[in-house]
């Protein structure tokens, strides 16, 4: 069953709600963007997954001539490490923490909650997931990177054994693969358990990647 609540699209499981996936869209998209992924993944009903697809706030995006669109934070330069929008990154991260809190209040354990995201959504999935006070089931960051890496060491959590998976297109023309891989290396250096995957694609998702995601989620939530 699909419905909208708390500025998010929610798809309820067919059976008992046992686990949750909070999936964040990229810049300029909205909460409906990854809804088709649920049928593509075709995950077993026995996992009891509730999918939550939140909307990012509408804001001016500097690099896009100040156009207003849904974004988790502003981007002021093509170099994603320049002039990072610290305030909005933290606000969006805290928003995702509230979604996680809401799932826990329903009785789902943190170890049964995955935070996932694509592009800018993946950046917030990484930033919020590794800073949540309890270890989650895992973090999925697609075609993305780690924002505010200089803050990681001082904000490090006790959740370094939480599985993190990153996937990137070799020909990504929006977030270069070097940006994603350097983020992977930073996480590894800080003791996080991260798996890196790369595919022959641009800033998108391919069928091989979907198969990988399906297996990863099944292994984590079974």
Q: Which residues are catalytic?
A: 119, 172, 203
Percentages of the chain per state (helix, strand, coil), in multiples of 5 = 35, 25, 40
* Distance from C-alpha of 81 to C-alpha of 84, rounded to nearest angstrom: 6
Task: List beta partners, residue 167.
Answer: 142, 197
Q: Do strands 19-24 and 49-54 pair parallel, antiparallel, or not at all (unpaired)?
A: parallel
Ordered alpha helix ranges (H), 45-85: none
Q: Residue 2: which H helix or E strand, with range?
A: strand 2-5
Ordered alpha helix ranges (H), 20-140: 36-41, 86-105, 120-129
Distances from the Cα of 210 to the Cαs of 20, 176, 198, 215, in angstroms?
A: 18, 20, 12, 9
Q: Residue 209: which H helix or E strand, with range?
A: helix 207-221
């Amino acid at each position: 069953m699909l419905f909208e609540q708390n500025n998010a699209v929610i798809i309820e499981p067919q059976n008992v709600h046992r686990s949750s996936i909070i999936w964040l869209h990229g810049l300029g998209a909205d909460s409906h963007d990854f809804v088709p992924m649920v049928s593509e993944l075709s995950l077993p009903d026995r996992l009891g997954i509730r999918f939550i697809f939140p909307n990012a706030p509408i804001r001016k995006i500097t690099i896009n001539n100040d156009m207003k669109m849904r974004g988790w934070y502003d981007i002021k330069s093509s170099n994603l490490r320049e002039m990072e929008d610290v305030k909005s990154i933290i606000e969006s991260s805290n928003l995702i923490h509230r979604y996680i809190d809401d799932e826990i209040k329903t009785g789902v354990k943190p170890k049964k909650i995955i935070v996932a995201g694509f592009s800018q959504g993946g950046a917030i999935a990484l930033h919020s997931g590794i800073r949540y006070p309890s270890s989650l089931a895992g973090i999925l960051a697609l075609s993305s990177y780690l924002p505010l890496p200089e803050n990681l060491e001082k904000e490090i959590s006790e959740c370094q054994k939480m599985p993190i998976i990153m996937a990137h297109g070799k020909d990504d023309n929006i977030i270069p693969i070097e940006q994603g891989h350097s983020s992977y290396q930073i996480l590894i250096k800080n003791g996080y358990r991260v798996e890196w995957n790369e595919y022959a694609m641009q800033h998108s998702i391919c069928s091989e990647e979907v198969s990988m995601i399906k297996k990863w989620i099944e292994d984590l939530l079974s």
